[in-house]
Chain A
Amino acid sequence: MRPLELVLLPGGVALGAVGVWMMLPGAPAGRRAPGILLAVAGAALVAAGLPGLGDPLTSALFFVLCGVTLLGAAGTLAFRSPVYAALSFGLSLLGTAGLLFLQGTQFLGVATVVVYAGAILVTFLFVLMLAEPRGRATYDRVGFGPGMAVLCGALLVATLIPTLASMGRKPEGLLRPPPPADARRQGVLASQHVKQLGNELFGRHLVAIQGAGVLLLAALVGAAVLVGQGRTRLPAPRAGQPAQSPGPNQPRPSQGTDIHG
């Protein structure tokens, strides 16, 4: 089992990294499609190298959701158009929510969808307002240091995976033994786990909840202040003359221009 892992896991990571690199927005068009295939292949190899989940239904659900999540994430990296990238991030979020459901943390899954979807909607609005939707802007078509970044990401994963794999193979010494299953059924996996979660949250972590509330208020106020500054009052337009556009609102850059100084 061991030597197979040794080949599969690093090989899969490498393949996936190459695939991601080929998918990046700076690459020429002919390279992007094969990149997807390579990335998928790499992910599959890694999956093969990891211990199986036992139950085939769980396995299938897990792999599908996992695929959705990772494909969505890759899409955020790869799409030139910021609209498509934001949408694919939303897809990835849905995948994550699904995975959380699968874990048995349904409340979290719902919370993720509700909160993040709201946040992503707002972000989507911003994208529509400010960004060049078709991805014609230079900065959407070029990446910064793609090779180096992908390499670092691959190394990041590659440092973790062998540890995780050996944890899977021989958990003694690395992990504490898990509590017995019935304890779990009473605790985290209980049918009314929201109630227990609520007890825990507002019992032991009450002060933290209050702190989080204050933090949210502060963020709200701060965002309002930040945006509120710098709005110049426009002079009333005189008859016969076009209104003067305020300085900061410059026209959007045309395609292919250089960066402003």
Chain B
Amino acid sequence: MFDIPFLLVLVPGVCLVATVVTAALGPHILGPRSHWPVVVALVIAAAASGVLVVQVHHQALAQWGEGRPADPAAGYEKIVTLWQWASIDDAHYAHQGDRFRIEVALRADPLTAVMLLTVTSVALLVAVYSIGYMAGDPGYWRFFTYVSLFVFSMTMLVSVSNFVLLYVFWEAVGLCSYLLIGFWYQKPAAAAAGKKAFLVNRVGDFGFALAVFLIWTTFGTLNFHDTVDAAGHIIGGVLGQSGLARPEFWYAPGWTLSAICLLLMLGACGKSAQLPLHVWLPDAMEGPTPVSALIHAATMVTAGVYLVARCAPLFVASRDVPPIVAGIGAATALVAAIIALTQTDLKRILAYSTISQLGYMFLGLGAGTLAGVSAGMFHLVTHAFFKGLLFLAAGSVMHAMGGVIDLERFGGLRQRLPITHWTFLIGCLALAGFPLLSGFFSKDEILSAVYERGLDGRDAQWYYVLFWMGLATAGMTAFYTFRAYFRAFWGPERIPPEAGHHAHESPPVMTRPLVALAVFSAGLGAVLWLSGALEQFLEATPSLVFLATHPAPWVYNVVEGHGVVPVAGTLVALAGIGLAWLLYVRQPQWLAQTVRVLHALGLYQFSKGKMFFDEAYQALVVAPLAAFARTCARWDHALIDGLVDAVGALPSTLGRALRPLQPGIVPFYALAMVLATLVLLGAMLW
């Protein structure tokens, strides 16, 4: 009964139903109970996702048994075609000779199953948390409508089997992000932040669209999976089993594949807030904190990671693009970590931390090996839980402090908010990479994959440098995370006046999700790593199986783990935590001296000012465009409007000129008649 097609349609379907029900009944009928349809739907979706994971696992195992498969045909995928959206019979393409077709098809394979489970479970916990956080807000029902719409879009995004539909839901999640960032739209800062997010994403989406066009012209199809045309020929999908089995295409010289991959990366940069399109994510913190937790930490921003992971064979085959991807990831991670060192807004620190961790994921994906890809996905899963936890805990703090989230205005909240404190601590430890918590395992997997590539093979020196950058970033991550922790929870207790009577622990509806997330943050990593389940599971995805069975010839792939990387990682994390403890708890006067030195060097302002990215964009992009728009407006007003006004004024001018012909004087009219007779007479006689 719970077969895969049913589950695949159920997960997004139930969220869609919840959206419609909440939107229709929310305003008047449900009111403060608007959360019920959404929570019920998410429970069903999360349960269904869990069952789906189990089912896919069974099916994959049944297909090849234990052990590594020998050819990509053994990867497991199940396609469910719902209906055909578009079909143009005249479209011919030389490679395939078939018409252009878009089908609404969902796919079930391990990558999709992992993403679905992550998204729905985090969404469920965030939704439960929001019941408490958003209580009393006049837009309560609107919030839950948008959240379930978002979950629908995200689950469809990871389930579809077609580039066009992926683009559709890519835009849909961007829309939901805009709606939720600007949820309190009366606040000008929130509305502006929503617009900024949408516009910056638009730059990335432009690249993505170009990539889709190029894919169509290169491959002749837009499906991931293989399809069969009317005559029975198999049309290989871009990432399908027969499509991937075309040896002549891979590793061939040429710029097309590189262009496709770079454009896909551009799209991923926009959605996942990588350099240079990262500027929207810190501003997106204007939205409610559950939104930040769900969308801007756990799910939407991971859509870019999912895209690159899905198209991993393309990236690997294009030879030159993976180092670029890794470079972007590492640079982003480093830059974001530097900026986070000096911020005082707790949510902004967490936002830059998200950017940094996403950079880690791209660093892993950019290694160009199966190990790297599965490491990136592993980090995605663990990051979803501990970053979600951190954001929700920050929301709990903000709730208690009456809306204040500036670290300079409160402190020493250990005793007052015990559950929040302990869950926040667990999240910080996970983020910093403290041994045995989940973040430790996933971060070290990534660094191991990069280290392997840095040992030997093509671009080894580049990866070596990136490894050290990653390591430095890990240290900085630990430092700024615990800086925030110590400032918020240690030291003398300071409560800002806005707190009023709020300054107590949050209600259970908010703390229980925190606890659940803390449990996952703590234990998930160990469980998954020790059992190796995730990597084995992901390997069954057809495109990733390909990476395993057809590794790039220049990659020296060593599959055993390296001992040096976890040790280095642990040392660096402990050093960061220790330094933070020293400066913020033990010897605060050293902190003042350090800041003075950094200030003198100008580094402090550089970091505090977010490296002036926004100012640079304002000067280089926004100001010229605005000037251009103003010029166009003036042009339009003067010329086009002037032309239209002139045309409009023509009849009245003509009328005014002709008016003296009607003076109301009878002899004048008689004279006119005589003149007319004269003209007629002359015309007739001559």
Touching chains A and B, CB distance < 8 Å: yes
A156–B667 CB distance below 8 A: no
Also in contact, A152 and B667, with CB within 8 A (given A159-B685, A163-B685): no
- Expressed in whole angstroms, the minimum distance between the Cβ of B674 and any Cβ of chain A is 5
Query: What are 18 A-B pairs at a CB distance below 8 A?
Result: A144-B665, A144-B667, A144-B671, A145-B667, A145-B671, A148-B671, A152-B678, A153-B674, A156-B674, A156-B677, A156-B678, A156-B681, A159-B678, A159-B681, A159-B682, A159-B686, A160-B681, A160-B685
Query: In the complex, A148→B674 CA distance in Å?
Result: 11
Indicate whether A194 reaches chain B with its CB closer than 8 angstroms. no
User: Which chain A residues in 155-172 approach chain B with CB under 8 Å?
Assistant: 155-156, 159-160, 163
A149–B685 CB distance below 8 A: no
When distances are taken between beta carbons in the complex, the residues of chain A under 8 Å from B686 are 159
Query: In the complex, A121→B667 CA distance in Å?
Result: 25
Residue in B closest to A143 when the chains form the complex, CB atoms: B667
Residue in B closest to A162 when the chains form the complex, CB atoms: B685
Indicate whether B675 reaches chain A with its CB closer than 8 angstroms. yes
- Expressed in whole angstroms, the minimum distance between the Cβ of A158 and any Cβ of chain B is 10
| Interface 0/1 of A155-198, CB less than 8 Å to B | 11001100100000000000000000000000000000000000
| Interface 0/1 of A140-152, CB less than 8 Å to B | 0000110011001
- Expressed in whole angstroms, the minimum distance between the Cβ of A14 and any Cβ of chain B is 16
Cβ-neighbour of B674 out of A144, A152, A160 (below 8 A)? A152
B671–A155 CB distance below 8 A: no
- Expressed in whole angstroms, the minimum distance between the Cβ of B664 and any Cβ of chain A is 12
Indicate whether B617 reaches chain A with its CB closer than 8 angstroms. no
Query: In the complex, A144→B668 CA distance in Å?
Result: 8
Query: In the complex, A163→B665 CA distance in Å?
Result: 34
A152–B675 CB distance below 8 A: yes
User: Which chain B residues in 642-670 approach chain A with CB under 8 Å?
Assistant: 665, 667-668
User: Which chain A residues in 131-146 approach chain B with CB under 8 Å?
Assistant: 144-145
- Expressed in whole angstroms, the minimum distance between the Cβ of B671 and any Cβ of chain A is 6
How many contacts between A and B, using CB within 8 angstroms?
29
- Expressed in whole angstroms, the minimum distance between the Cβ of A169 and any Cβ of chain B is 16
Chain B's interface size range is 10 to 19
Query: In the complex, A149→B667 CA distance in Å?
Result: 10
- Expressed in whole angstroms, the minimum distance between the Cβ of A246 and any Cβ of chain B is 27
Query: In the complex, A163→B684 CA distance in Å?
Result: 11
Residue in A closest to B685 when the chains form the complex, CB atoms: A163
When distances are taken between beta carbons in the complex, the residues of chain B under 8 Å from A156 are 674, 677-678, 681
- Interface residues in chain A, defined as those with a beta carbon under 8 Å from any beta carbon in chain B: 144-145, 148-149, 152-153, 155-156, 159-160, 163
Residue in B closest to A149 when the chains form the complex, CB atoms: B671
Query: In the complex, A76→B682 CA distance in Å?
Result: 27
- Expressed in whole angstroms, the minimum distance between the Cβ of A56 and any Cβ of chain B is 32
Most B CB within 10 A of own CB, among A148, A153, A159:
A159
When distances are taken between beta carbons in the complex, the residues of chain B under 8 Å from A145 are 667-668, 671
When distances are taken between beta carbons in the complex, the residues of chain B under 8 Å from A148 are 671
Residue in A closest to B680 when the chains form the complex, CB atoms: A159
When distances are taken between beta carbons in the complex, the residues of chain B under 8 Å from A155 are 678
- Expressed in whole angstroms, the minimum distance between the Cβ of B686 and any Cβ of chain A is 8
When distances are taken between beta carbons in the complex, the residues of chain A under 8 Å from B678 are 152, 155-156, 159
Query: In the complex, A149→B674 CA distance in Å?
Result: 9
When distances are taken between beta carbons in the complex, the residues of chain A under 8 Å from B674 are 149, 152-153, 156
- Expressed in whole angstroms, the minimum distance between the Cβ of B681 and any Cβ of chain A is 5
Query: In the complex, A159→B681 CA distance in Å?
Result: 7
Query: In the complex, A65→B682 CA distance in Å?
Result: 30
When distances are taken between beta carbons in the complex, the residues of chain B under 8 Å from A159 are 678, 681-682, 685-686
User: Which chain B residues in 70-105 approach chain A with CB under 8 Å?
Assistant: none
Residue in A closest to B667 when the chains form the complex, CB atoms: A144
- Expressed in whole angstroms, the minimum distance between the Cβ of A140 and any Cβ of chain B is 14
Question: A145-B671, A149-B674, A159-B682 are known contacts; what are 19 more A-B pairs with Cβ within 8 Å?
Answer: A144-B665, A144-B667, A144-B668, A144-B671, A145-B667, A145-B668, A149-B667, A149-B671, A152-B671, A152-B674, A152-B678, A153-B674, A156-B674, A156-B677, A156-B678, A156-B681, A159-B678, A160-B685, A163-B685
Residue in A closest to B683 when the chains form the complex, CB atoms: A159
The 8 A-B residue pairs whose C-beta atoms are closest, nearest first, are: A144-B667, A152-B674, A159-B681, A163-B685, A159-B682, A155-B678, A156-B678, A159-B685
When distances are taken between beta carbons in the complex, the residues of chain B under 8 Å from A152 are 671, 674-675, 678
Residue in A closest to B686 when the chains form the complex, CB atoms: A159
- Expressed in whole angstroms, the minimum distance between the Cβ of A26 and any Cβ of chain B is 13
Query: In the complex, A153→B678 CA distance in Å?
Result: 9
- Expressed in whole angstroms, the minimum distance between the Cβ of A13 and any Cβ of chain B is 14
When distances are taken between beta carbons in the complex, the residues of chain B under 8 Å from A153 are 674
When distances are taken between beta carbons in the complex, the residues of chain B under 8 Å from A149 are 667, 671, 674
Query: In the complex, A147→B72 CA distance in Å?
Result: 107
When distances are taken between beta carbons in the complex, the residues of chain A under 8 Å from B671 are 144-145, 148-149, 152
When distances are taken between beta carbons in the complex, the residues of chain B under 8 Å from A163 are 685
- Expressed in whole angstroms, the minimum distance between the Cβ of A98 and any Cβ of chain B is 28
Query: In the complex, A155→B685 CA distance in Å?
Result: 13
When distances are taken between beta carbons in the complex, the residues of chain A under 8 Å from B685 are 159-160, 163
User: Which chain B residues in 180-229 approach chain A with CB under 8 Å?
Assistant: none
When distances are taken between beta carbons in the complex, the residues of chain A under 8 Å from B665 are 144
When distances are taken between beta carbons in the complex, the residues of chain A under 8 Å from B681 are 156, 159-160
| Interface 0/1 of B34-67, CB less than 8 Å to A | 0000000000000000000000000000000000
When distances are taken between beta carbons in the complex, the residues of chain A under 8 Å from B667 are 144-145, 149
Query: In the complex, A145→B675 CA distance in Å?
Result: 13
Query: In the complex, A160→B678 CA distance in Å?
Result: 10
Query: In the complex, A144→B677 CA distance in Å?
Result: 19
Query: In the complex, A149→B669 CA distance in Å?
Result: 12
